[in-house]
Amino acid sequence: MMPVIMKNNLKGMEHLATAVLVCDKNLNIKHMNPSAEILFELSHEKVVNKNISIFFEDIEFFKEALNQAKAKQSSYREHEYFIKTKQNRTICVSFTISPIEYEEFDFFVEFIQMDQQLRVAREERMFIQQQANSELLRNLAHEIRNPLGGLRGAAQLLEKELNEKTLKEYTQIIINEADRLQNLMNKLLTPHQLPVYKKTNIHEVLERVRSLILSEFPENLKLSRDYDISLPEFIGDREKLIQAVLNVARNGVQAMLQEHPKNEMVLNFITRAESQIVFHKKKHTTAIRIDIIDNGPGIDSKLIDKIFYPLVSGKESGSGLGLSLAQNFITQHSGMIDCSGVPGQTKFSIILPIENNLKINEAVK
């Protein structure tokens, strides 16, 4: 029978965002918390009573680390360690071994996924930078918009006074260019319009984007989808989510067209449920994940750290606002957007937390 104090400790472990394994002195795993199940993609039942060597191929190294921890009666920490999961995925973790010597339990190991840590740090930096950029651009857009109206009006008045057709061509240039700038300014100011929250079905959003993309790019484009139809409805701004996904999807198609317009271009939409995910310094219990994957050439390595900044573009005619707007819209839903992948498989992931949604829901009521 498990002592009460240990039972409580194990209960506490259930809610930890970090992965924990508890072992006996024969290095057999006696308990695994849900975060560890997610990290190693293995269920508790498949792991209990198995030797910890299933995670540490170099078991001698592990025994040595455990001995060091026991000799000092303190924790042993290893910073970067690669573990191959049963699904043949290699993950980089930092781990801590702590002796406990309690009943049948001898020590526990806590794992933190390094790429998750790095991602959180990178994403926080981007978030702060994005806030500063967007404030600067908003002020700038306001300053430009008013004189622009004046310029356009004056050109129109001038045009009325002109009789010569060739001279009118000049005023037309002023008017057209003023309109182009006006459009850009409007785009810069859109993210600051307040969202309109309503019950939203993520698959309706994605299907709308699919039909928009199909009408815009009727070439030999294959749009495949892999939806988890059990995902719940949530409270969101449908139009802004459509715009966000559309901007990402459009980039994907443009990249594929650039690379191999003659080959088969595949854009894939995937939806999944996510749990216990950490970002914006917060753990989110439940979330919806949308992956938008294209088989284009991948993101230019010179741009990779900047693509979410406004006015950053790798295209001649690009305004560099698509991803910055998408990020703004997703942030308004307390979500996050990130990209990863290799050439031939560029993946943009959007994560929309659902539990935050309840707060929005209450506000809507």
Ligand X SMILES: Nc1ncnc2c1ncn2[C@@H]1O[C@H](COP(=O)(O)OP(=O)(O)OP(=O)(O)O)[C@@H](O)[C@H]1O
* Residue ranges in contact with ligand X by CB under 6 A: 247, 251-252, 255, 294, 296, 298-300, 303, 307, 312-315, 318-324, 346
Closest separation in Å from C-beta 300 to ligand X = 6
Q: Which of 322, 335 has the CB closer to ligand X?
A: 322
- Residue span binding Mg ion (CB under 5 A) among the ranges 178-186, 238-246, 317-325, 329-337: 317-325
- Residue span binding Mg ion (CB under 5 A) among the ranges 103-111, 132-140, 243-251, 330-338: 243-251
Q: Which of 163, 317 has the CB closer to ligand X?
A: 317
Closest separation in Å from C-beta 361 to ligand X = 31
Asked if 322 touches Mg ion (CB under 5 A), the answer is yes
Closest separation in Å from C-beta 325 to ligand X = 8
Q: Report the alpha-carbon distance of residue 270 to residue 272 in Å, rounded.
A: 7
- Residue span binding Mg ion (CB under 5 A) among the ranges 1-9, 33-41, 118-126, 251-259: 251-259
Q: Are strands 265-279 and 221-226 parallel, antiparallel or unpaired?
A: parallel
Q: Which of 23, 321 has the CB closer to Mg ion?
A: 321
Number of shown-chain residues binding Mg ion (CB under 5 A): 2
Q: Report the alpha-carbon distance of residue 217 to residue 295 in Å, rounded.
A: 16
**334 conformational bin, left if phi > 0, alpha if psi -120 to 50, beta if neither:** left
DSSP 8-state code for residue 96: E
- Helical H segments across the chain, by residue range: 4-14, 34-40, 44-47, 59-72, 114-161, 165-189, 202-216, 238-259, 322-332, 355-364
Residue 295: partners with Cβ closer than 8 Å, 6 or more residues away: 256, 265, 266, 344, 345, 346
Closest separation in Å from C-beta 127 to Mg ion = 20
Q: How many Å is the maximal CA-CA distance in the chain? A: 100
Q: Which of 251, 276 has the CB closer to Mg ion?
A: 251
Interface residue with Mg ion, options 251, 332, 346, 356 (CB under 5 A):
251
Asked if 346 touches Mg ion (CB under 5 A), the answer is no
Q: Report the alpha-carbon distance of residue 136 to residue 364 in Å, rounded.
A: 30
Residue 282: partners with Cβ closer than 8 Å, 6 or more residues away: none
Asked if 353 touches Mg ion (CB under 5 A), the answer is no
CB 214 within 8 A of CB 221: yes
Q: Which of 32, 299 has the CB closer to ligand X?
A: 299
- Residue span binding Mg ion (CB under 5 A) among the ranges 51-59, 83-91, 250-258, 259-267: 250-258
Closest separation in Å from C-beta 8 to ligand X = 48
Q: Which of 191, 296 has the CB closer to ligand X?
A: 296
CB 321 within 8 A of CB 311: yes
Closest separation in Å from C-beta 122 to ligand X = 16
Q: Report the alpha-carbon distance of residue 337 to residue 289 in Å, rounded.
A: 10
Q: Give the SS3 label for residue 241.
A: helix
Q: Which of 36, 299 has the CB closer to ligand X?
A: 299
Cα dihedral 277, 279, 283, 286, rounded to 10, equals -50
Closest separation in Å from C-beta 191 to Mg ion = 15
Binding site for Mg ion (CB under 5 A): 251, 322
